[in-house]
Structure 1
């Protein structure tokens, strides 16, 4: 394999310089990976100093919980879950001009992009692994909603759950409501 690679570079002039550049790039990547591990470890350590219960939700890892906590700060800043939803930019934006009001709504994307991304990633995982949220996701998909729309709805529901967990300081207890067929 190494012999094939040595003969496949295609540039015969100054190949030692290119070898050195590649070697240095590998060293930089290795350093970045080590630093990333150190940063993630520190984030988890700082996050675990608080009793937040966010990791009781399937889809929220220690690192995601640290990002969410870092972006939200104190939950007492928000009186209602809708305010947290707006801060994360997961609320619907209204397109209107004069008497015209658009019917296609999209995410407002105002507020913290880091919080929005963390909640979106957690919602993506929860859509498939958290019992109540995956049931909700599947119900939306069965109604014909697109994947992204369904994940967005799960993200909004997850934001309400995050608000309640941080406000009440209690672990997540999923409630699965099964529909009865009469």
Structure 2
């Protein structure tokens, strides 16, 4: 006899139920707390069923299940994870109400359909840790961009000519001048010797001189006030802090990348950061039957609409699955195109067929995923000559 143990996850408590392969309920839905006492209580309640053929399933609904998963794996139990969309479709198909007790039975019933779930092992948490770091990297990068955009708004008011004076935005000297003086008005009223010291970078002067900076400040159309000065100063401080945090996170990601030494790093345009983001979002490649599966997971496949003899000629992307994976792929694809003649030819061919820039990039993204799938499932090294 095979037993299916379904668990509905929530923040403070979980709900579990046990049924067999014939759909007979052996344990009605019961609650247990999200703590060690609750975990042990659950284990005791189902212990008589895990001596036989069994599987425990739950929805992959975020971090609330992490500690329970670790507990179950430490007991050498077989644990499966569902995409919540799968169980939701089952619920809708059978017109079932949405509540924790019924959901535990729905999940248990869904365990009879192996194609709907994936088995997790201890390796899952290695990828989970990398995934958390990669997502944190993306979050910090987005926050950084928001602060940089905000800073540019302030510069447009306080010293519109400032960016023309520097070859590189956001260099240490660039940020230091803004943090120390904030506006053209303040720079114009500052002693020239103080400006010279501020422009020194590791003992060397930058391309602009203190005299040029002061002259530009005097002629500036910018204006300032106390509130704007404070906003500029604190925005620069936030940018510097986020940049420091990003460096720490990126070093940790690179450490993981060097340990894994994935063959996809050989693909021009893929860095340690993007490689770890892709691998951690996809997880165990043995669970995918074909490259189409990972394309679907990334949400980069076109939405197909057909009805009778009608087929919509142009559709948007499905945009289901991992938005983090999709973001990483679109962030790196132009670099991949620029650094690989085969991808560049493929991109140009799509453009010549009348595709838009973004649409042609989408085709290249799917080609890249097929290449990644082939490399990871066959164990071969990246060879650009085989792409044609």
TM-score by length of 2: 0.41
Which whole-Å deviations, capped at 9, do the CAs of 1:91-122 have from their partners, x for residues lacking one? Answer: 12112457653222221111011111212222
CA distance in 2, matches of 1:51, 1:169: 12
Structure 2, unaligned runs of 5 or more? 1-183, 189-216
How far did residue 25 of structure 1 move? 2.5
Corresponding residue of 1:9 = 223
User: Which aligned pairs between 1:138-177 and structure 2 lie closer than 5 A?
Assistant: 138-175=348-385
Q: Are the equivalent residues in 2 in contact too, given 1:52–1:169 (CA < 8 A)?
A: no
Q: Of 335, 339, 342, which aligns to 1:132?
A: 342
The one of 277, 288, 297 equivalent to 1:87 is: 297
Distance 1:8 1:83 in 2: 55
Q: 1:46 aligns with which of 235, 256, 260?
A: 256
Shift in Å at residue 177 of structure 1?
7.4
Which residue is equivalent to 1:31? 241
Q: Structure 1 9/83 Cα, relative in aligned 2: closer, same or farther at 3 Å?
A: same
- Assess, with a 3 A threshold, how the Cα gap between structure 1 residues 25 and 107 changes in structure 2: closer, same or farther: same
Q: Indicate how the Cα distance of structure 1 residues 135 and 18 shifts in structure 2: closer, same or farther if over 3 A, else same.
A: closer
Choose between structure 1 and 2: higher strand proportion: 2
1:145 partner SS: coil
Contact 1:136 1:154 in 2 (8 A): yes
Whether 1:75 and 2:285 are equivalent positions in the alignment is yes
Aligned-pair RMSD on alpha carbons? Answer: 2.4
1:105 aligns with 2:315: yes
Name the CA shift for 1:91/1:145 in 2 (closer, same or farther; >3 Å): same
Q: 1:22 to 1:170 in 2, by over 3 A?
A: same
Q: What is the distance in 2 between the residues matched to 1:117 and 1:177?
A: 24
* Counterpart contact for 1:52–1:165, Cα < 8 Å: no
Answer 1 or 2: higher relative contact order, Cα 8 Å, separation at least 6.
1
Aligned residue in 2 for 1:62: 272
Task: Report how many aligned residue pairs link the two structures.
Answer: 174
Give the whole-Å Cα distance in 2 for the aligned partners of 1:7 and 1:118. 40
Once the two structures are TM-superposed, the CA of residue 152 in structure 1 deviates from its matched residue by 1.0
CA distance in 1, matches of 2:310, 2:289: 32
Instruction: State the secondary structure of the residue aligned to 2:384.
Output: coil
Instruction: Label 1:73 to 1:7 Cα distance change in 2 as closer, same or farther (>3 A).
Output: same
Q: Distance in 1 between matches of 2:310 and 2:325?
A: 32
Q: Greater CA radius of gyration, 1 or 2?
A: 2
